[in-house]
Structure 1
């Protein structure tokens, strides 16, 4: 390219600056200018958020070691999510969803077999915390970095302060050569073909670019307000639309897992940071007012008379019908939002950016590539939604209308219906997961953890053969214990 190709990103935050970093890194050998425009009035929550192992892939791609960024973002390691009180019975008080690491490949099949065997009525171990290394490490609060003699890779995510992470990514992006403009977009000018040409700011200055990325969050200033791309709502599947969030300066020991606890009209997150703890209550305003939700959260945390400030966050679940139209791509909250459960936001953001880089051409607009990209991302959002919906659909709580209505909700996505049917019919889940349109982050093991964690089993047979428990027969407890010795406990 003789002339520089110009990509303009409208909107900052974690999604915007992550996009800027990845684009500048990917095109560092090309004549590509990247400019990020963000408003001076940005309200970043910054009460503690979590990620999947995708965030580590992001930092590894940029070559940024943990020693460079973790302390600056008050970050901690995340190996596991523990779900408390979601099922509604004392027998299944909690369950774990660990990130699957290399050592676990030896036992994923055994875990799947035990989940099938238990459905057939045999008394076998189906606790993810006993089968998978990360759940064991989280239980003992150990670092995910093993001794140099341990030959396997460990997958893990992070907890972090979102505002501090955004600031750090801004610094990284600018060092990579991204231009930063602090201004407010007033108007968006398109040509006769509907392609965006120019941005006009509040001070009447203008920016021209070749391609535009919408990171303006729920406002969707470019992709929806300008290009009129419609949204697909998930509200029929997911009731939650609000969250109360707060941060407590806490002396609690830093844990290596997120704790998600079911409450009366939603669920509470507990995210451990280095010097504080982030708490939040994700709930449905159809079943509880914001004041009532905040009172419930503060009561649980003994903060009724405490001056710790809180933030009310309103959100809509769903996604765009097209994430890429003409010369505009939506990333982050602009493209869609499912809800904070399982911390899928940055995972979807990262995957969307990488797939865009894969399909994008500087020299021509390939409509087939755009269609393929949109189909892939729409499917990924839908498959992620299905896993989240399952948390609510499978509950057996009867204490509030919220949980009863979630269980009785008939707006169940087809892929989820298929998996529930397969589970009930005592089939393995692997064929239904591998045959999905794309490989989603939630593997058959994740689904087995979910179904087993909710106790979705038949009654035990009256006569037990006392054989067939692969957890015992393969001596998995001994294997996990031996692996565990290669890790140190957090102080």
Structure 2
């Protein structure tokens, strides 16, 4: 008898899960009946508008046309994040560094990171400028693709800036075309028996299923029905639990930047994300220190009061994750399962992880507890790994201008093993083996180095340099010149090759 799976809730979480599981189980024959029940009355949050680079591989695996995706979601490209004001200014100059997606080049004797320190290049350039192609492209305003780049490929790795609401609509259309049943209804009640969900109910209908996916966002409607004591908070390490998001027109005469900007403010940080149609901005802040009104005023002052504002939204955020993402016959995906603040744009990445892992763990008619335990262990590992990486951005600050930043310097104490790692990385380069054996899914030693050295957490190395250690930088300079010749201004590419702007 064919099994059924019911997803409650739409948005990026519901529709990414639906399109993935449908393609996995039903591409050649109908093996799993999948339906998604989406409320016409409950809107999606839809403010997370940037991605990590690995989301390209999800879209490609789903057979989505990249140019169509870009057009349908008003998307632009993202080569990384420019962090500004995360340390105290020096001689009135604001601190900034860039975190790109690309891997670093190898040297003949030492890796390029070690060469950078041995050659004492910190006196002449930022770390990202010395070891990455993307920094040169970013400085020139060039996007990641050349006119000859194939879909989902570029001169350097890239993610996207996109309209999250339009993405959900695009994925919904593709999923329904592929055979997913779409029901517009508002689920209000859940029937539980012996630790499993028997059915979910609306005012008009009941929906029975073998498995249920909870994609109801922070409400976690289905998971909460299975028990209240299933949440672990990360607010001790990551106190930003609120956000105010403002959509505004792109500043006049500005082409969309091919990177996200994350600027530290008084009690958190502000994002600026350029789409082809507008700019998405917001302030992620500590709601115990600022009122929503104070946060909105600070954000508007930062942006400039005459900024072509379109829409303003206030959000409460649950920072943490489930102890059990899979409980009984219900699996939480997306915000229903957990939330790490959007500093590194990991929202869609975590949905991708949850859906893909579910695909490999849902291969039997009746998966046992050992399967659920394995899923829960992996998902908890993913969230704890990302928590540590996000805390890394805060704990290295030397800002003391507000209580928020004074406390941020101690946030590493809430991440097991991180203080020891930081002490180690004062005496040696951060390398792969320091992090091996963990749950890293997209941020590895190379990413850690961009943050560590962007925040000036430098190792104290006693090693004599030599001329051969300049070789990686000469090679990178030649590659950068070639990359700039191959690519073009970001706006020009979107206009000419994606029919946007």
- The answer to whether the 8 A contact 1:229-1:322 is kept is no
- The answer to whether the 8 A contact 1:48-1:162 is kept is yes
2:113 corresponds to: 112
In the alignment, the residues of structure 2 paired with residue 248 and residue 361 of structure 1 have an alpha-carbon distance, to the nearest angstrom, of 45
Residues 149 and 36 of structure 1: is their aligned pair in 2 closer, same or farther, counting only changes over 3 Å? closer
In the alignment, the residues of structure 2 paired with residue 359 and residue 48 of structure 1 have an alpha-carbon distance, to the nearest angstrom, of 28
Matches within 5 A, 1:376-455: 376-409=378-411, 411-436=413-438, 438-455=439-456
Residues 229 and 129 of structure 1: is their aligned pair in 2 closer, same or farther, counting only changes over 3 Å? farther
In the alignment, the residues of structure 1 paired with residue 119 and residue 434 of structure 2 have an alpha-carbon distance, to the nearest angstrom, of 20
Residues 473 and 221 of structure 1: is their aligned pair in 2 closer, same or farther, counting only changes over 3 Å? closer
The one-character-per-residue Cα deviations of 1:274-299 (angstroms, maximum 9, x if unpaired) are: 02111101110122221111111111
- With normalisation by structure 1, the TM-score equals 0.91
Give secondary structure in 1 for the equivalent of 2:425: helix
In the alignment, the residues of structure 2 paired with residue 255 and residue 107 of structure 1 have an alpha-carbon distance, to the nearest angstrom, of 31
Residues 472 and 25 of structure 1: is their aligned pair in 2 closer, same or farther, counting only changes over 3 Å? closer
1:82 corresponds to: 82
Residues 280 and 428 of structure 1: is their aligned pair in 2 closer, same or farther, counting only changes over 3 Å? closer
1:21 corresponds to: 19
1:163 corresponds to: 165
The one-character-per-residue Cα deviations of 1:453-481 (angstroms, maximum 9, x if unpaired) are: 011136899x9967575476644222222
Residues 457 and 153 of structure 1: is their aligned pair in 2 closer, same or farther, counting only changes over 3 Å? closer
- The answer to whether the 8 A contact 2:7-2:18 is kept is yes
1:236 corresponds to: 236
- With normalisation by structure 2, the TM-score equals 0.89
Task: After superposing the two structures, state which structure 1 stretch, 293-302 or 37-46, moved more.
Answer: 37-46
Matches within 5 A, 1:295-310: 295-303=297-305, 308-310=310-312
Task: After superposing the two structures, state which structure 1 stretch, 472-481 or 81-90, moved more.
Answer: 472-481
In the alignment, the residues of structure 1 paired with residue 240 and residue 361 of structure 2 have an alpha-carbon distance, to the nearest angstrom, of 34
The one-character-per-residue Cα deviations of 1:299-354 (angstroms, maximum 9, x if unpaired) are: 12122696643111110200000111121110000000010100011111101110
In the alignment, the residues of structure 2 paired with residue 123 and residue 376 of structure 1 have an alpha-carbon distance, to the nearest angstrom, of 42
Give secondary structure in 1 for the equivalent of 2:88: coil
2:132 paired with 1:135: no
Q: How many Å apart are 1:424 and its aligned residue?
A: 1.8
Task: After superposing the two structures, state which structure 1 stretch, 479-488 or 334-343, moved more.
Answer: 479-488
In the alignment, the residues of structure 2 paired with residue 419 and residue 116 of structure 1 have an alpha-carbon distance, to the nearest angstrom, of 19
Task: After superposing the two structures, state which structure 1 stretch, 215-224 or 477-486, moved more.
Answer: 477-486
- The answer to whether the 8 A contact 1:117-1:124 is kept is no
- The answer to whether the 8 A contact 1:76-1:256 is kept is yes
Give secondary structure in 2 for the equivalent of 1:483: helix
Q: How many Å apart are 1:400 and its aligned residue?
A: 1.2
Give secondary structure in 1 for the equivalent of 2:391: helix
1:247 corresponds to: 247
Give secondary structure in 1 for the equivalent of 2:263: strand
- The answer to whether the 8 A contact 1:248-1:278 is kept is yes
Q: How many Å apart are 1:412 and its aligned residue?
A: 2.7
2:264 corresponds to: 262
1:4 corresponds to: 2
Q: Report the aligned-residue RMSD.
A: 2.7
The one-character-per-residue Cα deviations of 1:135-181 (angstroms, maximum 9, x if unpaired) are: 32222222322354999864211001111111111111111111111
The one-character-per-residue Cα deviations of 1:242-298 (angstroms, maximum 9, x if unpaired) are: 111111122421111000001111101000000211110111012222111111111
In the alignment, the residues of structure 1 paired with residue 427 and residue 116 of structure 2 have an alpha-carbon distance, to the nearest angstrom, of 13
Residues 148 and 240 of structure 1: is their aligned pair in 2 closer, same or farther, counting only changes over 3 Å? same
Matches within 5 A, 1:448-487: 448-457=449-458, 470=470, 474-487=474-487
1:200 corresponds to: 201
- The answer to whether the 8 A contact 2:188-2:201 is kept is yes
Gaps of 5+ in 1: none
Give secondary structure in 1 for the equivalent of 2:453: helix
Give secondary structure in 1 for the equivalent of 2:487: coil
Residues 33 and 219 of structure 1: is their aligned pair in 2 closer, same or farther, counting only changes over 3 Å? same
In the alignment, the residues of structure 2 paired with residue 71 and residue 50 of structure 1 have an alpha-carbon distance, to the nearest angstrom, of 16
Residues 44 and 474 of structure 1: is their aligned pair in 2 closer, same or farther, counting only changes over 3 Å? same
Residues 175 and 458 of structure 1: is their aligned pair in 2 closer, same or farther, counting only changes over 3 Å? closer
Give secondary structure in 1 for the equivalent of 2:386: helix
In the alignment, the residues of structure 2 paired with residue 178 and residue 133 of structure 1 have an alpha-carbon distance, to the nearest angstrom, of 42
In the alignment, the residues of structure 1 paired with residue 59 and residue 412 of structure 2 have an alpha-carbon distance, to the nearest angstrom, of 41
- The answer to whether the 8 A contact 1:122-1:460 is kept is no
Gaps of 5+ in 2: 493-501
Q: How many Å apart are 1:395 and its aligned residue?
A: 0.6
In the alignment, the residues of structure 1 paired with residue 297 and residue 324 of structure 2 have an alpha-carbon distance, to the nearest angstrom, of 39
Q: Tell me how many residue pairs correspond in the alignment.
A: 482
- The answer to whether the 8 A contact 2:247-2:309 is kept is no
2:72 corresponds to: 72
Q: How many Å apart are 1:80 and its aligned residue?
A: 1.1
In the alignment, the residues of structure 2 paired with residue 122 and residue 346 of structure 1 have an alpha-carbon distance, to the nearest angstrom, of 35
Residues 176 and 305 of structure 1: is their aligned pair in 2 closer, same or farther, counting only changes over 3 Å? closer
